[in-house]
């Protein structure tokens, strides 16, 4: 409920009750009889994350990640700082601290949940708590939507998020993932034995509310994962019913009297809920195309770009939570979309922990998965938990919901209902001899010490989350957002996130206002960290113009325009800064996805001449660009430039060969007096495919051209064919008849073009 646990203060608030819960078990004589693979997975992840925070000799760290360490040292050197001879592996200490704190919280939840789930009743209450929390989140979201709330609980206004549904989880994919989990867990609770019918109705209502919210979230990944989880639930439940290993506690008559009618009713209601709320998400799934895989703005392109980071540091990774500041350097589309997470937990694990760490976690994770899968036959609760965890695992192949405490902690608790181990009293195993008693005493102290260490770690994680050292990239950006950010704030941001481009860009702004020559070095380093940022290239272009280097400035403007979503201000600046149109054309990309946007912006800001010159350059590069030619023709006609208009008309007709473009070209040729070419272009007018009115107009144009060439016989034949073509109106027929009568009183005809060419001279 604390905004999904995303803010640092929310993590601290979660850590406190967890520390109290773990601390209460320090003196307990009950212990886990075996090692749960769930604890092993989390302990291994925590160990690797802490290793990334541990200062190591500079030579060793540089050997493991030479490029990243060089960038970090170069950036810190700009502010006169140094990391010394011992450096951490992670490229962003604050992000890795956040990641370590998150894993510590997961360890606390796993420890408490494993003690509870050792009993059947404990597994029921854990599953019930998850279903109730998910249902409460859905109801709170529905209340906010019903009230058209713009703030969460009337207190918190989202700064960067633009939620589809206002609720505790602002990201629609995260909300949909939690709802899918809640729906499947509620289904398992609905079929659980030995509970009152009223309680079953409650689980059914919670499940339906969660399904409806999943669909309303418009998350394709959540909807698909819910479908996969539902299929797995049905298959698992059916297998349990038919398996000899599953012993039903209730009689067959009881099942047909209570469960089946309620299940049928719930299914009907579910169908109505899905039908009424799934229209938008279903249309999004239908609209999903394979072309998204090749789109450089998609998450698939981000996954491909992340492999550059893996190649640079394959052994130890860039550091857990260090992706956001390091990723802009390797992803060209970062100027349009920045990624705080790769939206694929499996790829992100490889990038942040390295190949070795990801493989180690993967091996232990397989142990965990197998241990949970072996309990598939343990009743509806196990079926619900397995299907819910499958849905979470499926969604996180295209999302990062496990990076949010709201889902991660609940997923850990749910995993504990399947990976539980027996809990026993240590007093039962104490021997009678002195040596055994001493060994048992040492084990007691070791066990208490480990529990105390976990409690202290939870308190430490919560404390760290309240300190400035754990301030994330988004918070740091917010602190530098003001126009009057001082240099001290920027220095602190560089020390906290030495690979964050924005701090160096803001330093460039501040130093330029102070006319400090160091601004250029900060700008160069910012461009190293974010090579496609439009604002940085714009600053570079202005500096080059001041230095009297217009050609290089044009290149920087071009890079800025290639990587901006709002080109109008940049285009206006190009039109004002460059008096030479040839240089100005170099500042504008020649292969934009939508040239009309550029042309409209230039014309609207009184740069029509530049628009014309740019379109000519586009057509010189790609003559088969009909949209550019059509735009060129339109602008040329507006500013009455017949030469450019004719060239554009020729290029347009060559690219498209449509009858409308042919008419536009012949009209321009007639105005210029090029009647011979008009006749040639319209020579086959009788067989051309066009509307009757268009063909009649073009045919008349050809006849008029023959008359002006004084080819009277050819003109008379042209008019007679036109009159017999059956495409003229009565008024047009009268006009043709009038022209024919005029031709009968005209002087003798001039020989046709081929005859004149053959005789060499002509007679009057």
Residue 32, pLDDT score: 87
Of the candidates 701, 743, 705, 708, which has an alpha carbon nearest to the alpha carbon of residue 722? 701
Asked whether the predicted pLDDT for residue 251 surpasses 50, the reply is no
Average pLDDT, the chain: 85
424, β-bridge pairs: 31
| Residue 446 Cα distances to 165, 428, 433, angstroms | 49, 18, 20
* 642 neighbors 664 (Cβ within 8 angstroms): no
DSSP element (H, E) containing 7: none
DSSP element (H, E) containing 638: helix 626-638
Confidence of residue 727 (pLDDT cuts 50, 70, 90): confident
Cα 125 to the center of its chain, rounded Å: 37
Angle, to 10 degrees, between the axis of helix 220-242 and the axis of helix 379-395? 150
Label residue 264 exposed, middle or buried (CB < 10 Å: 0-12, 13-18, 19+): exposed
Of the candidates 452, 424, 391, which has an alpha carbon nearest to the alpha carbon of residue 25? 452
Asked whether the predicted pLDDT for residue 764 surpasses 60, the reply is no
Distance (Å, whole) CA 186 – CA 430: 42
Distance (Å, whole) CA 330 – CA 494: 19
Distance (Å, whole) CA 650 – CA 672: 14
* 184 neighbors 391 (Cβ within 8 angstroms): yes
* 626 neighbors 655 (Cβ within 8 angstroms): yes
Distance (Å, whole) CA 687 – CA 689: 7
Which segments of 117-219 does DSSP mark as H helices, in order?
A: 120-146, 172-190, 197-216
Confidence of residue 530 (pLDDT cuts 50, 70, 90): very high
Question: Tens of pLDDT along 176-232?
Answer: 999 999 999 999 999 988 788 888 889 999 999 999 899 888 888 888 999 999 999
Of the candidates 472, 449, 389, which has an alpha carbon nearest to the alpha carbon of residue 101? 472
Distance (Å, whole) CA 734 – CA 269: 74
Question: Tens of pLDDT along 535-551?
Answer: 999 999 999 999 999 99
Confidence of residue 414 (pLDDT cuts 50, 70, 90): very high
Cα 149 to the center of its chain, rounded Å: 26
Residue labelled with tokens 């629609």: 172
* 206 neighbors 182 (Cβ within 8 angstroms): yes
SS3 261: helix
DSSP element (H, E) containing 425: strand 423-425
Cα 61 to the center of its chain, rounded Å: 32
Q: Could you please report the per-residue DSSP string of 285-332?
A: HHH--THHHH-TTSHHHHHHHHHHHHHHSTTT-S-TT-HHHHHTTT-G
SS3 432: coil
> Hey, how many other C-beta atoms are within 10 angstroms of the C-beta on 514?
10
Cα 579 to the center of its chain, rounded Å: 40
Summarize the confidence of residues 155-162 as an average pLDDT: 77
CB within 8 A of 759, min separation 6: which ones?
751
In the chain the domains, ranked by start, together with CATH numbers, are 118-297+379-395 (no CATH), 668-764 (1.25.40)
Residue 82, pLDDT score: 82
Q: Could you please report the per-residue DSSP string of 523-581?
A: HHHHHHH-TT-HHHHHHHHHHHHHTT-HHHHHHHHHHHHHT-S--HHHHHHHHHH-SSH
Asked whether the predicted pLDDT for residue 756 surpasses 90, the reply is no
Asked whether the predicted pLDDT for residue 699 surpasses 70, the reply is yes
Residue 290, pLDDT score: 52
Residue 443, pLDDT score: 77
Token readout for 675 is 């009647």
Distance (Å, whole) CA 743 – CA 24: 114
CA geometry: angle 237, 243, 245, nearest 5 deg: 110
CA torsion 385→389→394→397, rounded to 10°?
A: 170
DSSP element (H, E) containing 423: strand 423-425
Cα 178 to the center of its chain, rounded Å: 20
Label residue 542 exposed, middle or buried (CB < 10 Å: 0-12, 13-18, 19+): middle
Residue 288, pLDDT score: 53
Question: Tens of pLDDT along 338-350?
Answer: 888 888 999 999 9
Residue 429, pLDDT score: 54
CB within 8 A of 554, min separation 6: which ones?
541, 574, 578, 583, 584, 586, 587
Question: Tens of pLDDT along 588-614?
Answer: 998 888 888 888 888 888 888 888 888
Confidence of residue 522 (pLDDT cuts 50, 70, 90): very high
Residue labelled with tokens 């050809």: 702
Token readout for 510 is 């501040």
Distance (Å, whole) CA 110 – CA 593: 51
Summarize the confidence of residues 725-733 as an average pLDDT: 85
Residue 748, pLDDT score: 54
Token readout for 67 is 């490029």
Residue 736, pLDDT score: 86
Summarize the confidence of residues 644-659 as an average pLDDT: 76
Summarize the confidence of residues 55-76 as an average pLDDT: 93
Confidence of residue 428 (pLDDT cuts 50, 70, 90): low
Residue 267, pLDDT score: 54
CA torsion 325→52→370→30, rounded to 10°?
A: -120
Question: Tens of pLDDT along 279-335?
Answer: 454 454 445 555 556 667 788 888 999 999 999 999 999 999 999 999 999 998 888
């Amino acid at each position: 409920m604390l905004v999904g646990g995303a803010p640092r203060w929310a993590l601290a608030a979660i850590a406190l009750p967890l520390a109290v819960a773990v601390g209460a078990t320090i003196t307990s004589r009950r212990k886990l009889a075996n090692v749960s693979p769930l604890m092993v997975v989390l302990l291994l992840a925590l160990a690797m994350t802490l290793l990334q925070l541990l200062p190591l000799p500079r030579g060793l760290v540089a050997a493991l990640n030479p490029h990243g360490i060089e960038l970090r040292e170069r950036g810190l050197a700009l502010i006169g700082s140094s990391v010394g001879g011992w450096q951490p592996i992670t490229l962003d200490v604050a992000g890795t601290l956040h990641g370590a704190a998150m894993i510590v919280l997961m360890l606390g939840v796993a420890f408490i949940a494993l003690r509870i789930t050792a009993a059947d009743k404990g597994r029921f209450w854990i599953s019930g708590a998850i279903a109730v929390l998910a249902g409460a989140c859905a109801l709170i979201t529905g209340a906010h939507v019903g009230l058209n709330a713009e703030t969460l609980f009337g207190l918190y206004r989202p700064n960067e998020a633009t939620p589809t549904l206002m609720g505790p989880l602002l990201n629609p994919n995260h909300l949909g993932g939690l709802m899918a989990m809640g729906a499947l867990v509620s289904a398992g609770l609905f079929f659980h034995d030995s509970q009152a019918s009223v309680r079953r109705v409650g689980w059914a209502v919670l499940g339906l509310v969660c399904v409806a919210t999943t669909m309303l979230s418009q998350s394709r990944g959540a909807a698909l994962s819910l479908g996969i989880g539902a299929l797995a639930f049905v298959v698992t439940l059916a297998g349990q019913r038919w398996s000899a290993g599953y012993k039903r506690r209730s009689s067959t008559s009881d099942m047909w009297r209570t469960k089946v009618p309620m299940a049928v009713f719930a299914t009907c209601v579910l169908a109505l809920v899905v039908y009424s709320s799934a229209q938008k998400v279903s249309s999004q799934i239908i609209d999903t195309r394979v072309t998204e895989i090749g789109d450089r703005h998609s998450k698939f392109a981000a996954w491909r770009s992340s492999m550059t980071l893996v190649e640079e540091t394959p052994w130890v990774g860039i550091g857990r939570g260090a992706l956001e500041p390091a990723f802009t350097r390797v992803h060209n589309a970062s100027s349009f979309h920045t990624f705080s997470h790769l939206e694929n937990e499996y790829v992100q694990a490889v990038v942040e922990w390295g190949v070795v760490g990801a493989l180690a976690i993967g091996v232990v994770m397989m142990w965990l998965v197998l241990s949970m899968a072996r309990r598939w036959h343990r009743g509806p609760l196990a079926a619900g938990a397995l299907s819910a965890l499958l849905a979470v695992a499926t969604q996180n192949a295209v999302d990062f919901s496990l990076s949010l405490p709201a889902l991660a902690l609940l997923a850990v608790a749910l995993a504990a209902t399947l990976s539980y181990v027996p809990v026993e009293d240590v007093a039962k195993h104490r021997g009678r001899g002195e040596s055994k008693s001493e060994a048992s005493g040492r084990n007691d102290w070791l066990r208490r010490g480990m529990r105390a260490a976990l409690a202290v770690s939870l308190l430490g994680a919560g404390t760290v989350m309240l300190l400035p050292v754990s301030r994330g990239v988004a918070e740091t950006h917010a602190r530098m957002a003001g126009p009057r950010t001082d240099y001290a704030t920027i220095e602190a941001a560089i020390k906290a996130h030495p690979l964050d481009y924005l701090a160096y860009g803001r330093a460039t702004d501040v130093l330029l206002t102070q006319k400090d020559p160091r601004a250029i070095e900060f700008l160069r380093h910012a461009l190293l960290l974010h090579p496609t940022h439009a604002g940085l290239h714009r600053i570079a272009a202005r500096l080059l113009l001041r230095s009297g280097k217009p050609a290089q400035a044009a290149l920087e403007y071009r890079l800025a325009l290639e990587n901006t979503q709002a080109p109008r201000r940049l285009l206006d600046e190009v039109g004002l800064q460059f008096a030479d149109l040839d240089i100005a054309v170099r500042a504008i990309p020649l292969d934009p996805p939508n040239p009309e946007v550029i042309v409209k912006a230039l014309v609207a800001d009184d740069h029509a001449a530049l628009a014309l010159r740019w379109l000519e350059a586009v057509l010189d590069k790609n003559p088969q660009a009909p949209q550019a030619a059509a735009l060129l023709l339109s602008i040329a006609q507006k500013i009455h430039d017949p030469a450019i208009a004719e060239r554009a008309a020729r290029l347009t007709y060559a690219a498209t060969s449509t009858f409308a473009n042919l008419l536009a070209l012949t009209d321009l040729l007639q105005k210029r007096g090029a009647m011979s070419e008009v006749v040639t272009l319209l020579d086959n007018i009788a067989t051309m495919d066009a509307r009757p009115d268009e063909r009649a107009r073009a045919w008349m144009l050809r006849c008029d051209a023959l008359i002006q060439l004084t080819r009277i016989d050819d003109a008379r034949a042209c008019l007679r064919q036109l009159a017999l073509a059956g495409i003229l109106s009565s008024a047009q027929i009268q006009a043709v008849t009038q022209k024919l009568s005029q031709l009968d009183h005209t002087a003798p005809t001039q020989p046709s073009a081929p005859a004149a060419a053959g005789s060499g001279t002509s007679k009057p």
